[in-house]
C-alpha cells in the first residue's frame, strides 16, 4: 500500500508536468519582424522584408505628429512660441513622458523637442490638442496627411503611438514618412540628431542616442517601443553623397534592434550607387475639401490687420510677396496697389534723413551665416548695391542658434541662363557646403535654382544657375542684405 504522502507527491508531479506541457504549447511570441531600406536620394528600395505587413508602430507615430506640427507652423496655424495649455488628458498619459501638469502653459517649441528627443507621450498629445482641438480630431488629420503622403496602409488613432485597436502602420509607410520629414522640413531635421535637449522642465536625453553615438553618419530619426510592437526604429545615415534610411519593426531589445539597423544601413550603403540625382518626394496632395477647410480655419483665426507702416519696396518684395509668387508678372500685379505709395514715402524719408537711412536700417548679420566661409585666394565678386532690406526671416527652427545640416546630391547641370555667383573656394567641398547652407536658408528665392560648382584656375566657383534675371537680382538683394557675397551672372557672363 502506497504511503499517502507519496501518492500526494505523484499527483503534484503529474499536475506540474501537465502545466509545463500547456505552457510549452503556447510560448511567448515575439513581435512580428519587418524591415525596409531605401536610398533616400531616389526612394529606391534596396531591401525589404514584410514591408507591407500592418503592425503596431509604437512611438514611430510621433513622426507624423511632428510632421503635422511643422506643417501647421509653416501654414501659420500656430507659432513655435505659442503657449499651449496642458489638458488633464495630456497630463495623464503614461510614460515615457515629460511630466506636464494640468493647466500648465508651455511653448510649442518645447513640446516638439520633448516629442522628438524624449518621445514624451504627454507632449505629443498636447501638440495634437493644440493644433486640432482634440486628439480625435488630430488623429483624423493624421490620417488625411498619411493618405496625402501615399501611406496607404496606415491608420492612426492617437498622437503618441501607445497600443490601440486599429492603430497600425507598415515598415514601408514609416520609411516613406521618414523620407518626407528629411526633405519636406529640413529646417527641423537637426532635432532628431540631438543627444539631449532643453525643455524648460530639465534636459532630456535622446532615446536614440546609442545608435547616434555608435554608427558613423547616423543623424536620426525616431525610436518606438510597446509590448505589442517590440522595439521599432526608423534610422537615417549619411556618408559622403549617399544617404540611407532603414526601418525595423519588432526588435527583441533595443540592443538587437540597433544592431540589426546598423546591418541594414551597411547593406544600404553597399547597394546604393555612389552617384545618383536627388529626386525629392512629391509634397502631400490633400483633397480639395481638406485644403479649403484648412484655409477657412486659418482665415477665421487671424487677427485684424494693423495699420500699415511705410516700408521700402524691397521690404515688401523680399519679406511679404516674393516667396508666394511664381513669376515677375504675378509679382508686379500683386504689388501694383501699394508700390507708388511705398516709393513715395521711402523717398521722402531718405531725403529727410540726408541719405543716412540705408546705414541706419541695415540689418545686422544673422548668426547662422557665420558658418559660411568667405572665399579665399580670389578677388571678391562684384557686389550689386543692396537696397534697404529688413532683417530676413529666420528659419522656423526650434533653436535659432542651431542650423540644419542636410547633404544632398549637388547638381552640375544648367543651361546658359541667369544665375548668381557666391564666391571662389580652394576646395570643391567648401564650395558645395556653402551652396548647400545658402540653399537651405534662402528657400524663398533659390528653391528652383540648381547648385553648380565649376573649377576655374585651380579654384572652385560656387554658383546657383537656372534662374531668371528677376530671381537672380532678388536673390542677390536678399543675400547681400545678410552680408553674403553675391553677384548676378547673365547668360553671356
Q: Residue 428: is it exposed, middle or buried by C-beta count within 10 angstroms (0-12/13-18/19+)?
A: middle
Active site residue 59: yes
Upper half-sphere CA count for residue 327 (Cβ side, 13 Å):
3
What DSSP line would sit under 266-296, residue for residue? HHHHHHS-SS----PPPPP---HHHHHHHHH
Q: Alpha-carbon distance 241 to 40, whole Å? A: 11
191 φ/ψ angles, rounded to the nearest 5 degrees: -55, -40
* Residue whose grid cell is 507624423: 64
Q: Alpha-carbon distance 235 to 217, whole Å? A: 11
**Per DSSP, what are the bridge partners of residue 247?**
36, 234
* Residue whose grid cell is 545618383: 276
Q: Alpha-carbon distance 72 to 249, whole Å? A: 29
**Element containing residue 487 per DSSP (H, E):** strand 487-489
The gap from C-alpha 374 to its chain's centroid, in whole angstroms, comes to 28
The active-site residue, picked from 87, 115, 119, 132, is 119
Q: Alpha-carbon distance 192 to 144, whole Å? A: 24
Q: Active-site residues: which are they?
A: 59, 62, 119
Amino acid at each position: 500500500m502506497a504511503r499517502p504522502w507519496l501518492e500526494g507527491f505523484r499527483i503534484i508531479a503529474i499536475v506540474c508536468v501537465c502545466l509545463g506541457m500547456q505552457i510549452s504549447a503556447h510560448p511567448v511570441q515575439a513581435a512580428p519582424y519587418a524591415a525596409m531600406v531605401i536610398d533616400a536620394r531616389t526612394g529606391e528600395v534596396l531591401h525589404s522584408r514584410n514591408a507591407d505587413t500592418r503592425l503596431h508602430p509604437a512611438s514611430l507615430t510621433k513622426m507624423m505628429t511632428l510632421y503635422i506640427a511643422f506643417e501647421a507652423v509653416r501654414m501659420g496655424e500656430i507659432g513655435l512660441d505659442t503657449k499651449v495649455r496642458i489638458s488633464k488628458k495630456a497630463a495623464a498619459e503614461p510614460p515615457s513622458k515629460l511630466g506636464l501638469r494640468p493647466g500648465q502653459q508651455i511653448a510649442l517649441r518645447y513640446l516638439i523637442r520633448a516629442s522628438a528627443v524624449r518621445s514624451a507621450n504627454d507632449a505629443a498629445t498636447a501638440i495634437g490638442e493644440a493644433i486640432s482641438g482634440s486628439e480625435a480630431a488630430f488623429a483624423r488629420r493624421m490620417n488625411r496627411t498619411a493618405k496625402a503622403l501615399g501611406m496607404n496602409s496606415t491608420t492612426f488613432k492617437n498622437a503618441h503611438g501607445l497600443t490601440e485597436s486599429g492603430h497600425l502602420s507598415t515598415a514601408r509607410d514609416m520609411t516613406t514618412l521618414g523620407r518626407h520629414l528629411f526633405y519636406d522640413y529640413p529646417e527641423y531635421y537637426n532635432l532628431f540628431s540631438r543627444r539631449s535637449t532643453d525643455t524648460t522642465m530639465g534636459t532630456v536625453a535622446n532615446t536614440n542616442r546609442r545608435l547616434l553615438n555608435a554608427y558613423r553618419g547616423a543623424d536620426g530619426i525616431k525610436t518606438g517601443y510597446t509590448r505589442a510592437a517590440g522595439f521599432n526604429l526608423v534610422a537615417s545615415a549619411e556618408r559622403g553623397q549617399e544617404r540611407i534610411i532603414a526601418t525595423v519593426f519588432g526588435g527583441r531589445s533595443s540592443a538587437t534592434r540597433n544592431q540589426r539597423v546598423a546591418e541594414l544601413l551597411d547593406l544600404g550603403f553597399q547597394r546604393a550607387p555612389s552617384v545618383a540625382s536627388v529626386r525629392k518626394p512629391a509634397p502631400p496632395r490633400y483633397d480639395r475639401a481638406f485644403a479649403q477647410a484648412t484655409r477657412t480655419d486659418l482665415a477665421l483665426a487671424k487677427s485684424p490687420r494693423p495699420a500699415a507702416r511705410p516700408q521700402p519696396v524691397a521690404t515688401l518684395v523680399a519679406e511679404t510677396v516674393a516667396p508666394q509668387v511664381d513669376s515677375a508678372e504675378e509679382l508686379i500685379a500683386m504689388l501694383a496697389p501699394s508700390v507708388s505709395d511705398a516709393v513715395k514715402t521711402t523717398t521722402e524719408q531718405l531725403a529727410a534723413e540726408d541719405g543716412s537711412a540705408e546705414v541706419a536700417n541695415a540689418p545686422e548679420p544673422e548668426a547662422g551665416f557665420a558658418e559660411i566661409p568667405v572665399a579665399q585666394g580670389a578677388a571678391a565678386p562684384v557686389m550689386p548695391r543692396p537696397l534697404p532690406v529688413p532683417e530676413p526671416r529666420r528659419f522656423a527652427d526650434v533653436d535659432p542658434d542651431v542650423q540644419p545640416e542636410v547633404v544632398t546630391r549637388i547638381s552640375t547641370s544648367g543651361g546658359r541662363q541667369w544665375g548668381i555667383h557666391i564666391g571662389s573656394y580652394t576646395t570643391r567641398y567648401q564650395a558645395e557646403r556653402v551652396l548647400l547652407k545658402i540653399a537651405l536658408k534662402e528657400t524663398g528665392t533659390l528653391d528652383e535654382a540648381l547648385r553648380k560648382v565649376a573649377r576655374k584656375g585651380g579654384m572652385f566657383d560656387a554658383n546657383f544657375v537656372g534662374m531668371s534675371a528677376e530671381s537672380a537680382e532678388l536673390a542677390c538683394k536678399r543675400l547681400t542684405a545678410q552680408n553674403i557675397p553675391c553677384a548676378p551672372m547673365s547668360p553671356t557672363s
